[in-house]
Amino acid sequence: MTDAHCLTVENVTLGYGDRVVVDALDLAVPPGAITAIVGANACGKSTLLRAMSRLLRPRHGQVLLDGRDLHRLNTKEVARTLGLLPQSPLAPEGIVVGDLVARGRHPHQQLLTRWGSADDAAVAAALDLTDTTGLADRSVDELSGGQRQRVWIAMALAQQTDILLLDEPTTFLDVSHQIDVLDLLTDLNRDHGTTIVMVLHDLNLAARYADHLVAVARGQVHAAGDPADVLTTTVVRDVFGMDSQVIPDPVSGRPMVLPIGRHHAGQGPNEVPPTSTRGSTVTTPSGAKL
């Protein structure tokens, strides 16, 4: 892959009807890294991702791809650079898996250009990577939720973009397939330099797999930086309204959040801080460093 593309959000305000969901938000996505966006329900995570994928036009501000307004670029040009797996994608009725995954190749088709061997190879690789080759001739309508999710991921992979946006890619997946998907995205990042931006609900998986963590609260970036700096008891309380302990993950050494419900408040040892901060800066809306 050539030099990584830059995706930035500048002073963006987003909403639906009269309701503002994201207000004057700034975000710089580290090129060639894995970024995970976390936050409570209805905080603006998915809305932000919609704007970053050109599905939602900002009321104010702009989303920039390599310094150019994303919403003013040619549709196919954007689709060859930036791929999206939305939260609840819809498949045409009766379509089979192979045909759905092949739709990921549409941005690479030019007028009067025929489907070629490169397209066949991209689809085959995407099916293989997601363990869906055996489903190629099955109707998408017949699949379980987990199978369907892996097929949608295969379509996004077949698109072969330099930036991949995923809204809750582990939805409907059991634990083993969640890990498989996140390992796959890590392989894409390490082997091909693909910039990954994903919304995740599981804080501990986000901390384990992300290079860069963004915590969103009330339509703003509350904290952003290395997971070891972002996931503190203070940030978890501010963002999720939840008391917790934060300890080192015994597998990865990254921070691991242990939620504390009201029936267990006051029990257990004090918070153990993450083992490494690696010198990253975390910013809050007030400009304070955490």
pLDDT at 264 (0 to 100): 80
pLDDT single digits (tens) 237-253: 999 999 999 999 999 99
- Tokens encoding 92: 């045409």
Helix/strand/coil for 11:
strand
DSSP code of residue 194 = -
- Tokens encoding 12: 């963006």
Q: What is the mean pLDDT of residues 207-219?
A: 97
pLDDT at 268 (0 to 100): 58
Q: Is the pLDDT of residue 289 over 60?
A: no
Give 34's strand partners.
196
Name the pLDDT band for 19 (thresholds 50, 70, 90): very high
Q: Would you say 207 and 213 are in contact if contact means Cβ atoms under 8 Å apart?
A: yes
Name the pLDDT band for 135 (thresholds 50, 70, 90): very high
pLDDT at 288 (0 to 100): 40
Name the pLDDT band for 259 (thresholds 50, 70, 90): very high
Q: Would you say 98 and 136 are in contact if contact means Cβ atoms under 8 Å apart?
A: yes
**CB neighbours (10 Å) of residue 76?**
13
- Look at residues 121, 149, 115 and name the one whose alpha carbon lies nearest to residue 135: 149
Q: Would you say 221 and 26 are in contact if contact means Cβ atoms under 8 Å apart?
A: yes
pTM (predicted TM-score): 0.85
**CB neighbours (10 Å) of residue 97?**
26
Q: Would you say 163 and 5 are in contact if contact means Cβ atoms under 8 Å apart?
A: yes
* 201 vs 290 pLDDT, higher one: 201
Name the pLDDT band for 281 (thresholds 50, 70, 90): very low
Q: Is the pLDDT of residue 290 over 50?
A: no
Q: What is the mean pLDDT of residues 252-271?
A: 80
